[in-house]
């Protein structure tokens, strides 16, 4: 093994150890939801934003709060409501008095942080939701023609309730596309529920330890991008994404029957980066087909729009994507 290969292997092992350390601290507070925790941490080490969907009381907000306590990053929470205005998030110019003179001064909003919890993001109006578009894509805020840089790393971790639609506003497709993952938080098992009751009703307050800072996160984000993605594996990603485009050359029967709009190039980028994290966690410095399959659903479920017929039949996006995953071969020659 060459020195370069040895160095890469050591870095991969170190990444696994540090990833496990963060996950262990989160696990001291959050019971179960292993795949959700892994998905959120994957988004962090890729440098992307994450949308958590689930009914109230499943621990979505608690998970994000616990993550902020485990990482030495600034944290702000914004409770999204119908009367929330863009300036309530971004900030605004206000008149202040300096040395006897009045002047405009920009007062930063809660978005100027490193982890921003957008709680119940679908309760705000589309105008307010769209205020996050520039921030999520560029890591900047523009107010009155002046551009402000946010401190890196920066993440938007949002929650939304899928069952209570009264007084909510569906997220625009452009906004959804800027989330790296959409994670669906399910119910706890019987054993997990008993553990939750034990932990929360006995007056014991468990606090996680801080184990990582922003500088280290940025380092690992750089390592993730160095993981090898072979051309034939990359082409598998491209074909999986193109298979979501109705009437396209790689569309499957279920695609043409059920999908109105397919995934964007961001979907392919997401799959590639997230699969690299999975490879590192498995002790490898190259992406496999299995890594791709494991991140396919959370990467694309919010980037595919079903047509009216599929919605009327109650068809779920995940079912359509799983069918595509089954139909698209790993070998390009089979196309």
Q: What's the confidence (pLDDT) of residue 238? A: 95
Query: How much is the CA Rg of the chain, to the nearest whole Å?
Result: 21
Give the architecture-level CATH label for domain 228-330.
Answer: Orthogonal Bundle (1.10)
How far lies 249's CA from each of 77, 193, 242, 327, in Å? 44, 47, 8, 14
Residue 110 neighbours by CB under 8 Å, 6+ apart? 76, 77, 78, 88, 89, 116
DSSP reduced 3-state for 240: helix
Question: How far is 312 from 330, CA to CA, in rounded Å?
Answer: 32
Q: For the residues of 35-104, what is the DSSP string, one character each?
A: HHHHHHHHHHHHT-EEEEE--TTSSHHHHHHHHHHHEE--EEEEE--TT--HHHHHEEEEEEEETTEEEE
Give the architecture-level CATH label for domain 1-82+113-200+212-226.
Answer: 3-Layer(aba) Sandwich (3.40)
Q: What's the confidence (pLDDT) of residue 1? A: 47
Residue ranges in the chain whose pLDDT is less than 70: 1-3, 5, 164-167, 332-335
Closest CA to 47 of 331, 276, 284, 200: 276
Chain centroid, CA 106 distance in Å: 30
Count of positions (residues) in the chain: 335
Question: How far is 317 from 179, CA to CA, in rounded Å?
Answer: 17
- Residue entry with tokens 């959120």: 40
Q: What's the confidence (pLDDT) of residue 202? A: 79
DSSP reduced 3-state for 183: strand
Q: What's the confidence (pLDDT) of residue 103? A: 78
Return phi, psi of residue 118, to 5°. -95, 90
Cis peptide before 153 (omega within 30 of 0): yes
Domain residue ranges of the chain, discontinuous segments joined by + = 1-82+113-200+212-226, 228-330
Closest CA to 298 of 327, 320, 274: 274
Q: What's the confidence (pLDDT) of residue 3? A: 56
DSSP reduced 3-state for 150: coil
């Amino acid at each position: 093994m060459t020195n370069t290969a040895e160095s890469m292997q050591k870095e991969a092992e170190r990444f696994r150890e540090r990833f496990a350390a963060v996950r262990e601290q989160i696990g001291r507070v959050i019971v179960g939801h292993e795949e959700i925790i892994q998905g959120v941490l994957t988004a962090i080490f890729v440098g992307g934003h994450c949308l958590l969907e689930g009914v109230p009381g499943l621990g979505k907000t608690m998970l994000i709060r616990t993550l902020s306590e485990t990482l030495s990053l600034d944290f702000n929470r914004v409770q999204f409501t119908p009367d929330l205005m863009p300036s309530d998030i971004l900030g605004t110019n206000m008149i202040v008095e300096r040395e006897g003179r009045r002047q405009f001064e920009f007062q930063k909003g809660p978005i100027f942080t490193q982890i921003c919890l957008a709680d119940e993001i679908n309760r705000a109006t589309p105008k307010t939701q769209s205020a996050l578009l520039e921030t999520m894509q560029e890591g900047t805020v523009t107010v009155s023609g002046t551009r402000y840089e946010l401190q890196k790393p920066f993440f938007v971790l949002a929650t939304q309730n899928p069952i209570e639609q009264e007084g909510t506003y569906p997220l625009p497709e452009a906004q959804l596309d800027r989330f790296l993952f959409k994670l669906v938080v399910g119910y706890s098992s019987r054993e997990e529920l008993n553990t939750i009751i034990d932990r929360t009703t006995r007056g014991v307050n468990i606090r996680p330890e801080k184990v990582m800072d922003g500088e280290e996160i940025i380092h690992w984000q750089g390592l993730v991008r160095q993981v090898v993605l072979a051309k034939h594996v990359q082409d598998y990603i491209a074909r999986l994404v193109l298979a979501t485009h109705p009437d396209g050359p790689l569309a499957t029967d279920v695609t043409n029957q059920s999908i109105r709009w397919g995934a964007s190039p961001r979907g392919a980028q997401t799959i590639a980066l997230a699969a690299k994290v999975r490879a590192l966690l498995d002790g490898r410095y190259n992406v496999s087909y299995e890594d791709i399959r494991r991140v396919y659903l959370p990467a694309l479920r919010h980037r595919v729009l079903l047509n009216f017929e599929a919605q009327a039949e109650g068809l779920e996006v995940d079912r359509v994507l799983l069918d595509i995953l089954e139909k698209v071969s790993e070998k390009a020659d089979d196309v």
